[in-house]
């Protein structure tokens, strides 16, 4: 139990408004800023890991739907970049192997041999 800061009556711990005097009590919820969500989108759009981290932190802390949506967009953008970078790395590695080892280093060529068997 806690006490109303205005009228001093005993009220429930989780009360937001005092039932006796109607005044707001307890923790006045701090208005959310959309900073995390926007930063998440910016970093996510640049392919930064920070975009994912900020997005997840935002999702944990945010309660307003529009802010949560921003965080999801940020995480989504990061995921898109993550997939693209994996594909680019794969092509780069495959190309490099091919340069140094010829066809035997070409992962697609090696795979096609296995498929034939
Ligand atoms: Zn009161």
Output 107 or 33, whichever has higher pLDDT. Answer: 33
pLDDT at residue 106, as a whole number: 65
- Residue 47's SS3 state is coil
Q: Phi, psi at residue 25, to the nearest 5°?
A: -130, 175
Q: Where exactly are the structural domains of the chain?
A: 1-29, 31-116
The proportion of the chain whose per-residue pLDDT surpasses 70, expressed as a percent, equals: 86
pTM: 0.56
State the Cα–Cα distance between residues 107 and 52, nearest whole angstrom: 31
State the Cα–Cα distance between residues 20 and 17, nearest whole angstrom: 9
| Cα-to-centroid distance, 30 and ligand 1 (Å) | 21
pLDDT at residue 79, as a whole number: 93
| Cα-to-centroid distance, 42 and ligand 1 (Å) | 45
| Cα-to-centroid distance, 24 and ligand 1 (Å) | 8
Contact 11, 4 (CB under 8 A): yes
pLDDT at residue 28, as a whole number: 56
For residue 3, name the pLDDT band (cuts at 50, 70, 90): confident
For residue 94, name the pLDDT band (cuts at 50, 70, 90): confident
Q: List pLDDT tens digits, range 46-72.
A: 878 889 999 999 999 888 888 999 999
């Amino acid at each position: 139990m806690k006490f109303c800061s205005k009228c001093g009556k005993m009220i429930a711990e989780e009360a937001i408004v005092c039932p006796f005097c109607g005044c707001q009590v307890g923790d006045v919820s701090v208005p959310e800023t959309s900073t995390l969500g926007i930063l998440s989108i910016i970093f996510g759009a640049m392919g930064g890991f920070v975009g994912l981290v900020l997005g997840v932190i935002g999702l944990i802390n945010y309660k307003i739907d529009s802010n949560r949506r921003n965080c999801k967009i940020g995480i989504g953008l990061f995921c898109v970049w993550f997939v693209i970078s994996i594909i680019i790395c794969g092509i780069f590695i495959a190309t490099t192997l091919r340069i140094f080892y010829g066809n035997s280093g070409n992962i697609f060529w090696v795979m096609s041999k296995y498929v034939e068997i």
